[in-house]
Copies of this chain bind each other. A is one copy, B any other.
Amino acid sequence: MRSRSVSIPQGTADASAITPDELRLAVRNHGMPLEALAYDVTPIGMHYLLIHYDVPRVDATSWRLEVDGAVSRPMSLTLADLGARPTVTSAVTFECAGNGRALLDPRPLSQPWLLEAVGTGSWTGTTLAPLLAEAGIADEAVEVLFTGLDRGVEGELEQSYRRSLPVAEALQPDVLLAWGMNGAPLPPQHGFPLRLVVPGWYGMTNVKWVSRITVLDEPFTGYQNARGYRLRLDTDEQGVPVSRMAVRALMVPPGIPDFATRRRFADRTEHVIEGRAWSGAGTIEAVDVSTDGAVTWEPAELEPAADPHAWRRWTFDWRPQAAGDHELCCRATDAAGNRQPLESPWNLGGYANNAVQRVDVTVT
Residue on B with the closest CB to A362?
B6
Number of interface residues of A (CB under 8 A): 65
Which of B16, B25, B26 is A20 in contact with, Cβ under 8 Å? B16
Indicate if A52 sits at the interface (CB-CB under 8 A).
yes
Please determine whether A259 and B27 come into contact, CB atoms closer than 8 angstroms.
no
Q: Is A241 at the interface (CB under 8 A from chain B)?
A: no
In contact, A259 and B54 (Cβ under 8 angstroms): no
- Report chain B residues within 8 Å CB of A57: 35, 38
- Does A220 sit at the interface, judged by CB under 8 A? no
Cα A19 to Cα B35 with chains together (Å)? 23
B residues within 8 A CB of A7? 261
CA of A19 to CA of B52 in the docked complex: distance in angstroms?
24
Q: Kindly name the residue among A55, A110, A116, A256 whose own CB sees the greatest number of chain B CB atoms within 10 A.
A: A256
Contacts of A256 in B (CB 8 A): 53-54, 151-153, 158
Question: Is residue A173 within 8 Å, beta carbon to beta carbon, of the partner chain?
Answer: no
Per DSSP, are chain A's interface residues mostly helix, strand or loop, or mixed?
A: loop
A8 within 8 A of B: yes
With A187-B44, A189-B45 already in contact, the answer to whether A54 and B25 are too (CB < 8 A) is no
**Which residues of A in the span 1-34 have a Cβ within 8 Å of any Cβ on B?**
4, 6-9, 15-31, 33
- Those of A103-131 within 8 Å (CB) of chain B: 109-110, 112-114, 116
Contacts of A30 in B (CB 8 A): 27-30, 49
Chain B residues positioned under 8 Å from A102 (CB to CB): 23, 27
Q: If the complex has contacts A4-B265, A18-B23, A23-B112, are A258 and B189 also in contact, measured as CB distance less than 8 A? A: no
How many copies altogether? 2
Specify which chain B residues have a CB less than 8 angstroms from the CB of A158 in the assembled complex: 256, 265
Given known A-B contacts A44-B44, A114-B23, A114-B24, A52 and B153 have beta carbons under 8 A apart: no
Residues of B within 8 A of A171 (CB): none
Q: How far does the alpha carbon of A262 sit from the alpha carbon of B51 in the complex, in Å?
A: 11
A residues 214-241 touching B (CB-CB < 8 Å): none
A73 sits at the interface (CB 8 A): no
Q: Does A331 sit within 8 A of B, measured CB to CB?
A: no
Is A257 positioned at the interface, with any CB of B under 8 Å from its CB?
Answer: yes
- Smallest CB-CB A-B distances: 6 pairs: A30-B30, A17-B17, A18-B18, A45-B45, A154-B259, A26-B26
Given contacts A24-B114, A158-B256, 8 further A-B contacts (CB under 8 A): A6-B265, A16-B20, A21-B260, A45-B187, A45-B190, A53-B256, A53-B259, A154-B258
